[in-house]
Structure 1
Amino acid sequence: MKNYVKKPYFEVRYKDANGNVFKRNFQDDDTFRFEHKSDANNDLLNYKPDNVVIDSNVTKTTEPPSLINLMGLADLLSKKGFTTSQVKDTYQKMYEAEYVSYPRTEDTKVDQKDFDELLPLVDSIANVVGVDHSLLTHRTARKKYITAKADHGANRPGINVPTSLDELEKKFGKCGKEIYITLAKAYLAILCEDYVYEQQKAHLANNPDFKSVSNLPKKLNYKLVFNEQDLDSDSNKSNHQGFLSTVTPYIYEGSNPAPAKPTLSFLRKFL
């Protein structure tokens, strides 16, 4: 990180008023990327506003994410200012009071017994964390989240359901409250319907090498309860607006990527 030297580059890209960007796939021997902005400005003179051609519209679905582990939980709560030690220590106290399951587990699924044990409690858990019962339609376990045998089962709410979030905050502080909200919503999400979206692919009429993809949400379903994109950085969140008919060229400035900072998110993904 200390030795990193930023090396900017400039290239022509297109953008519509919804923020959808059309760009070319860069290869090492391509000549449309420049070290100096003045060269890119000269290149920009070769491009005029263009029209969008839709190549495909495909409806796709995504299942709810797998259950989060303790590191994923700590990662999410680090974004709210809680340290890994705070999460670990608070979670242990909550486990001893049976508000959450066993913490130090490698399990990423639950067995049928674990699932059946929590099933009568899910509406009560949903009440505590403010989740609409009508979203929890999968009361029969999906294969993705079930294993034949689990030593402890994945991290999840415990059999002792609090009467309110205030009860948790009084006993375990703000960290305990946020642990329960996050853990409960991550678990309740596996009972929800799939996320439905329309994936559009497009290119430009006069410059077909410029291409773009846009994912348009149709039915949020589980994402109304728990959105796994919160585990990713903002830069990974894509635009969710459809293509407009016309686009305008502009100069995009990029650079060689800086070495990643050793955050908990980085460490979790690396491992």
Structure 2
Amino acid sequence: MAVSAKDVKALRDVTGAGMMDAKKALTAADGDMEAARQMLREQGLAKADARSGRDNDQGAIAVAGDGRAAAVVQLKCETDFSAKNAGFTSLVQTLADSVLSGGPGAVDTHAAGIEDLKLVLKENIEVGVVEHIQADDGNVLDSYLHRQDGRGVNAVVVEGSGVGAEALHQVALHVAFAKPQFLSASEIPAAEIERERAALLEITKAEGKPEPAWDKIVDGRMRGWYAERVLLEQGLHGEKTAVKDSIGGGSIVRFVQVLIGD
């Protein structure tokens, strides 16, 4: 049967299919829009499976929170062009909102929406990191989402105890750009510390430093090494005041950071 250009356009709008594919599907389905859509969906998902092994280090991140709980979701794709798509950014925010209210497993309820996006954008799209953070009693959360070209690319959630709202927010901003690996030095594996200390000792020896000064020199260099990795030892926003001294006697309980392309 003949199909109208209007119907072809309508089918293309909801499926992202090419003009000829949409026309063929409508013809095969005798003009039944839903049957044609399902036909294209099945064909598209088969192609999507073939794309599943392709690199997808682009994407977008969304954050949802209410002060006591927070959710961070990363949705991955192949290109930044697709990551900036309105449907893509809308879906990742929907995922974060669902995780906030329903926990990490809530992303599974949006499997059909993710599959539909694969069909429209024709890329390897999948959920990446999913975090659900619940503050302990008496603690508070702060979050920061850095956006680039309309999509979230760098998300941080920080939990504090006895820390003022503005001070906690400044810590969240600091984490976003300093990208610490650990909260405190005690979290670093002992073997990693020993390897670094041994390497710095060899460097100090090779520089011809006097032996009585070796330990002191290595200690100083280790402080610099800690400051590169440990949040509490870093200078807030690169200044002299350490993060641990900027929170008014309170404490940072934990932090979470999720990045695109990292």
Give the TM-score range, shorter chain: under 0.3
Normalized per residue, which structure has more helix? 2
TM-score under structure 2 length normalisation: 0.21
The structure with the largest alpha-carbon Rg is 2
When normalised by structure 1's length, the TM-score is: 0.20
Greater relative contact order structure (CA < 8 Å, 6+ sep): 1
